[in-house]
Structure formats: structure tokens, C-alpha cells
């Protein structure tokens, strides 16, 4: 029986999807869902063992995944990750710039210069560089979808995460700028802005009752999210279901920004 029109719209069959920071958390949830949708997924993290373990689990479940370890906080690292994925998958139709970091909590003006630089390298320059290399190596001639993992922190900033807020606001601007620049090459560029999600990066926010209750208390759904709830938005933006969507920021925050 042929796939239904609905299934075809959300299918990623035969496509190559590289997801940075995907050995765990939101990135891993996206990788699992993309593999279920038929994509060859690239599992990326700094440590090769974590990538290989996640890829093996996806392959054992019937999906297709390859490990592409590398640090996206440097130009050389980004170029190497893109090259390694293309060598194994043969194509890169979807790029999810999910890797992020936040080594500094507190107001922006109190942030350590080194911490600000690390945040900027990974959260802003990482997506710019990854997109540059993916476009140059494949998407310029073949089209594709780029998805940047922003945050509601870039839309409605909290004082606790000043430097992180600024980096995510910058990433939203990067998303809109690139959507303008790459549209004629049939490359769509969008962002997802999650609210509070239970991940390692947000561990302090989730596990500190005062902070967690403050955020959840302002969220319409009255709870934080699971990584799998962000993955569905990524599948929409990666697939043909969003073929006329570019330059958009999709908030998945349970109503926190309402």
C-alpha cells in the first residue's frame, strides 16, 4: 500500500539530516523522530563514544544513523562535521543547529568574558558556520531546510541567563537574515524557540524549585516540556509540510510567552 498523502508530507525518506548536539536531550529526540520518518540522521556531539552509542541505538531500532563527532564551537570543527556527514550519508538535506551551551548564570554585565565568548562561539557562530559549510557543500545546488534551535530566552529574557538570552536573540536574527539570503536557492531557514525543557542544559532551572515554579507558574499549560515535544516542531520544519515556511520562529513553550 502506498503511503498516504499525509504521511508523504511529513516523510523524510531518503534525506540526509545532520543534527548537532544530538547524542542526548532535544537533539536526540529529533534524531529519533527523523529516523522514524525515514531520514539518514547524523548524530553529533563532542565525544565520539556518545555519538556511536546513540547511532547504534537508532540503527538497532530499525533507523539509519551515522556518528559524526566534532566540536561546533570552532570553524574547523564545523567544517569537519559537515564533511564527515557527507562522506557517510552522501547528502545533507536538513541541518538542525541544536548544539548549545550556557556556562554562565546571572546578569549579562556580570558575565565572565570567557563565558560570553564560549556562548557566542557555540550558540551563534556555530550555526552560522555549520550553515555556511552545508550550503557550500550541498544545499546551494540541491535546496534544503535549516533549523536553528533558539529559545524563548531570546524573545522574553530572564535576568538569570543574561548572556544566553543575548545569544539566542542573535540566533533569531541570524535565522531571519539567512532566510532572506538563501531563499532563491530553495533553502528554507527557520528557528524553534522552546520554553523550559527537561534537559541537561536546563538542569539547574528544572531542579531548583524556586526557579522551576516561577517559570511554570507563568506557563499556560502549567508544566515544563519533554524533549520529544520539541521534536515534532522540528519534523514539521524539516519536511515538505512546511514548504512555504521560512524566516519563522516557532515557539514551543506551553504558552509561556503569551
Residue 76 CB burial class (10 angstroms; 0-12, 13-18, ≥19) = exposed
- Give the residue from 83, 187, 189 showing the smallest Cα distance to 144: 187
Interacting residues of 27 by C-beta distance below 8 A, sequence separation 6+: 19, 20, 21, 44, 96, 98, 99
- Please say if 164 is a catalytic residue: yes
Q: Where are the alpha helices (DSSP H) in the chain?
A: 5-9, 25-36, 48-60, 75-89, 113-120, 126-134, 140-142, 162-182, 203-207, 209-217, 228-238
Identify the bridge partners of residue 97 per DSSP, sorted by sequence position.
Answer: 148
Active-site residue among 164, 182, 189, 201? 164
CB 159 within 8 A of CB 116: no
Active site residues: 164
Amino acid at each position: 500500500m502506498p503511503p498516504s498523502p499525509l504521511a508523504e508530507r511529513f516523510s523524510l525518506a531518503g534525506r540526509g539530516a545532520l543534527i548537532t548536539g544530538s547524542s542526548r536531550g532535544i537533539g536526540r529526540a529529533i534524531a529519533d523522530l527523523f529516523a522514524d520518518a525515514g531520514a539518514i540522521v547524523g548524530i553529533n556531539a563532542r565525544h565520539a563514544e556518545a555519538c556511536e552509542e546513540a547511532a547504534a541505538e537508532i540503527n538497532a531500532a530499525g533507523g539509519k544513523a551515522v556518528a559524526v563527532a566534532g566540536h561546533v564551537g570552532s570553524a574547523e570543527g564545523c567544517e569537519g562535521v559537515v564533511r564527515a556527514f557527507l562522506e557517510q550519508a552522501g547528502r545533507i538535506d536538513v541541518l538542525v543547529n541544536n548544539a548549545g551551551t550556557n556556562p554562565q548564570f546571572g546578569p549579562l554585565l556580570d558575565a565572565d568574558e570567557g563565558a560570553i565568548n564560549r556562548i557566542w562561539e557555540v550558540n551563534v557562530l556555530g550555526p552560522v558556520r555549520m550553515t555556511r559549510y552545508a550550503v557550500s557543500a550541498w544545499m546551494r545546488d540541491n535546496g534544503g531546510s535549516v533549523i536553528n534551535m533558539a529559545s524563548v530566552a531570546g524573545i522574553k529574557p530572564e535576568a538569570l541567563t543574561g548572556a544566553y538570552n543575548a545569544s539566542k536573540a542573535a540566533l533569531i536574527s541570524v535565522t531571519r537574515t539567512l532566510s532572506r539570503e538563501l531563499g532563491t536557492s530553495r533553502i528554507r531557514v527557520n528557528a524553534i524557540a522552546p520554553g523550559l525543557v527537561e534537559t541537561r542544559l536546563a538542569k539547574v532551572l528544572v531542579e531548583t524549585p524556586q526557579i522551576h515554579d516561577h517559570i511554570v507558574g507563568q506557563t499556560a499549560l502549567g508544566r515544563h516540556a519533554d524533549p520529544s515535544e520539541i521534536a515534532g516542531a522540528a519534523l514539521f520544519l524539516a519536511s515538505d509540510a512546511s514548504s512555504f515556511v521560512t524566516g519563522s520562529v516557532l515557539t514551543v513553550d506551553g504558552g509561556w510567552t503569551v
